[in-house]
Structure 1
Amino acid sequence: MSRTFLKMNGLGNDFVVIETASQSFEPTPEDIRAIAKRGDGGIGCDQVIAIDPRSEGASAYVRFWNADGEVAGACGNGTRCVAWLLMQSAGKNGVAFDTVAGRLSGQMAGDKRVTVDMGPPGLDWTQIPLAEEMDTVGIELQVGPIDAPLVHTPGCVSMGNPHVVFFVDAPVTDAFAKGTGSLVEHHPLFPQGVNVGFAHVAARDHINLKVWERGAGLTAACGTGACAAQVAAVRRGLTDRVATVEFESGSLVIEWREADGHVIMTGPVTMDYAGKLPEKVAA
């Protein structure tokens, strides 16, 4: 029997979502890569998401995979899509669900607009994780010549997945993000790899951001990357607690809440279409 999926996106960051209430889904890394491949028989996506109807005290347990087949701890834009689906099916305006990174919750914030509580950020070097002890407000890392680095001293934040955020004087080009991001993603300082953000603080309530995602490459938008950039900026005193984080494809509103330290993300979700998984990964 063919297995079905939903194709969704958040600001162009796109996902293949499989609901497992009536169909099993235990993919190999090869299966994930086949699904995520753009063209040549693949569906094409940045991440694959499975929604499992088994989680005590929550609506579901949610699994994420990057396009390279590796398990991902969290995905901000994908989390909004999942929350919207669960709220639609339950006829509710709020929902909670579990992930390997912990319990997350979502609330309706308008027509196909969702607010998600991403929980508190991980800020200790062991939570990123880093290969050695460093102050994650600004770690000892630079790209380029020693006396004239292209980028340097980034902040580090875990949003259930590892992020490094370089602050730049102007928005960077795609070519720069690809070249630099691909170098930093597998740097020995990051034993689990890292998502690489390039943040330009345009105002105390506005960040322009481009993200090279671990296992996915340059993506249209990255929800956890937006959260990480805002947290890193607040820690340096560059932004206020609430800021708009803008990608070329659109923007998210991120609040690092002072009361409980949780990161709150609000943004749109889009349902693209429904389809059937390729038979080679549906057997």
Structure 2
Amino acid sequence: MADPSTSPRLTRASVVEAHKLIKPYIHHTPVLTNAALTTLASTPRDPKDLAGTPWESRTPAKPKMRLWFKCENFQRVGAFKARGAFHAIERLKLEPGWLAGGGAEKGVITHSSGNHAQALALAARTNGIPAYIIMPSISAAPKIAATKGYGANVIFSGSTSVEREEVTAKVIEQTGARLVPPYDHPDIVLGQGTLGLELQADVRNLIGGEQTDRVTGETTLSVYRSSNKGLDAILAPCGGGGMLSGVALSCEGTGIRVFGAEPSFEGADDAKRGRFTHATGDSSLGYNF
């Protein structure tokens, strides 16, 4: 991977620069509304529905919301992951000598079960660079086929992160390929954050007109604020944190609040249950979602 110390600072300005780098390679995906969901979100709950929940005995909220959806399901490879992958490749291309016999011919590598796998395979093919993708053998067949269809060398591994990383390390040793991680790298975070910039700008431009369209697939949910003709908040999936972190950076200094979202069904709220700790001397700061 590119040395994180050489990456731009994690700021909104750096997200803007990332967008300039990847703009020729990505789709500016649409922002749509959904009248049914907007009505549902703006309808107070029946107090009886709150029985047995943490909000029991509280007065139901009476929000007036307008929901906007950033349709990254229309992005290349069908997911926002294309943004981070293309930005990571563009940053490597800026590394002195990397293209001219400095390592590009050895390729890039990652481990992913699907969307990042396809995204890096596409970004590598676009730039004429070999790609090695470590995929769990239990990955969805269509995603394996798509990754191979983009010209990547697919190597299978076990399903756990330890197993995937072990195979990745072996392939790096054999090929000298550069690692492009799925989410935990500044270049990935900045690339994913570009969708936040587009969302903010598009909502400002769209306010005043009515849109009613059905939204399906992978989306980012936003809440309308009429007082300043912009967004009040953005809800983004937690996942590995790359897109959520990037969107938060894109909102730096704007006053827009950012929330991570995940399902609680059958224990899927791992980010909420997790604890991220940063040591500071004899104490530590914990951050709970």
- TM-score range (shorter-chain normalised) is under 0.3
Q: Which has the higher strand share?
A: 1
Task: State TM-score, norm by structure 2.
Answer: 0.25
What TM-score results when the alignment is normalised by the length of structure 1? 0.25
Specify which structure has the higher proportion of helix: 2
